[in-house]
Amino acid sequence: MTDQTDENKSSNAMWGGRFAAGPDAIMEAINASIGYDQRLYAQDIRGSRAHAAMLAAQGIISDKDAEAIGEGLLTVLSEIEAGGFPFSTALEDIHMNVEARLKEVIGEPAGRLHTARSRNDQVATDFRLWVREQCDAAITGLDTLIRAALTRAEDGADWVMPGFTHLQTAQPVTFGHHMMAYVEMFARDKSRFEDARKRMNECPLGAAALAGTGFPIDRHATAEALGFDRPMANSLDAVSDRDFALEFLSASSICAVHMSRLAEELVIWSSAQFRFVAMSDKWSTGSSIMPQKRNPDAAELIRAKIGRILGASVALFTVMKGLPLAYSKDMQEDKEQVFDAADNLMLALAAMAGMIGDMTVNADKLEAAASGGFSTATDLADWLVREAGLPFRDAHHVTGSLVAMAEEKGCDLPDLSLEQMQSINPAITESVFDVLGVHNSVASRQSYGGTAPDQVRAQIARWKEQLG
């Protein structure tokens, strides 16, 4: 075990001669971020290698030193990936931990690595690289989820189910149409991550502490080496904003809301009262005392993830809202929430795709439910407008009277006789029964984006072509 005094001396050495004594234990605890920012090790080493190569190309350090730094950093990388790296809180963060170990590995050339940069632009670069990778992961996860939903939509393009407003039966729709609503939502989520990734793809490295540097660095070279489109154009902005992380959290929050809504429906649909779907054993749990129970725990946990993800967004907005330019230590609090939100988003995406792909849909239950609750009442009102020439408000009133009659007789609208309907309005003819069946109802909804099976299939085909 490393002696605390030695660690403090090491920390003091990294800081230079400014401080005569190390921080006490409380200050060390509040100041250190290595407990969580060690997750940035790969990005930190990648950025440092690009920086060292650029320094050599510009003649700022020798090729020999740059080569030693590059190889030494790879050694440090392998040590961390092997799991035995001795992270030290006395060294505060991932940057100092890596640099201190690099010095142990290669000696004096390690001290030249930090030429023409600051921990301010270093951490901004590391964090931006990490968030960019999370955007890529979210895009991939959403693509998988969208494809799973498309498959279920295609399976159920003809399956009739109740469409709801206020969770009350409203009009018949197809199961495929319902699933395609989520395809559209998740596709917008995917586009938000793509858009955020494009906007964040500028490199802070070379902004130094806040004002740039007097060394003849080539920021375009480091930007290109790290896969950025360009260097950030203002050094103050480069080190002081975290809007890229806020955008990621905002997109994650919206995506989590969409998953939470679908998860809520899966919870309802899998209940004994609905039985629209059945979740497989992979995504369900039992009860410790009720042997009949099959609990949709995975869906419930996905439903809850929005709490953590939105909470992370609120936390970072709160951290950033009052900070003057440029860097403030408050910004050390920018990572834990983002790490947690990203982890939970990816877990939820994977679980949701698995559940959607694995669930059993009970088409008979869907159709039986669609046929109840007077779901074709709007079709009847529309028929009265088209065929009987009634103003819609009058048609609405007539339909309401017919619904009341059916309720009184304990039947649905298609079960009323023509004579019973004509007692309410004599203009009603036999052809009204053509619109009262649920299959007729959904087939008639031919407007673009409507629930008719051929419209649903057209949308599925469009998305299949778009996804490739």
Are 384 and 390 in contact by the 8 Å Cβ rule? The answer is yes
Q: Cα angle vertex 296, ends 293, 300, to 5°?
A: 135
Task: Return the exposure string of 199-214: e unless at least 16 CB atoms fall within 10 Å of the residue's CB, then b.
Answer: ebbbbbbbbbebebbe
- Three-class SS state of 7: helix
Active-site choice (78, 191, 287, 401): 287
Active-site choice (166, 288, 417, 431): 166
> Which residue's structure tokens are 């407008």?
385
Query: In angstroms, rounded to a whole number, what is the distance separating the alpha carbons of residues 161 and 49?
Result: 58
Query: HEC profile for 56-121?
Result: HHCCCCCHHHHHHHHHHHHHHHHHHHHCCCCCCHHHCCHHHHHHHHHHHHHCHHHHHCCCCCCHHH
- Three-class SS state of 209: coil
- The verdict on whether 62 is a catalytic residue reads no
The answer for 286, left when phi > 0, alpha when psi is -120 to 50, beta otherwise, is beta
Q: Is the dihedral of CA 170, 171, 176, 181 positive or negative?
A: negative
Query: In angstroms, rounded to a whole number, what is the distance separating the alpha carbons of residues 459 and 453?
Result: 10
> Which residue's structure tokens are 């009184």?
408
Q: Is the dihedral of CA 96, 100, 103, 105 positive or negative?
A: negative
- The verdict on whether 396 is a catalytic residue reads no
Please, which residues have CB within 8 angstroms of residue 111's CB and are 6 or more apart in sequence?
A: 103
Query: In angstroms, rounded to a whole number, what is the distance separating the alpha carbons of residues 377 and 311?
Result: 43
Tokens of 143: 């693509």
Catalytic residues: 166, 287
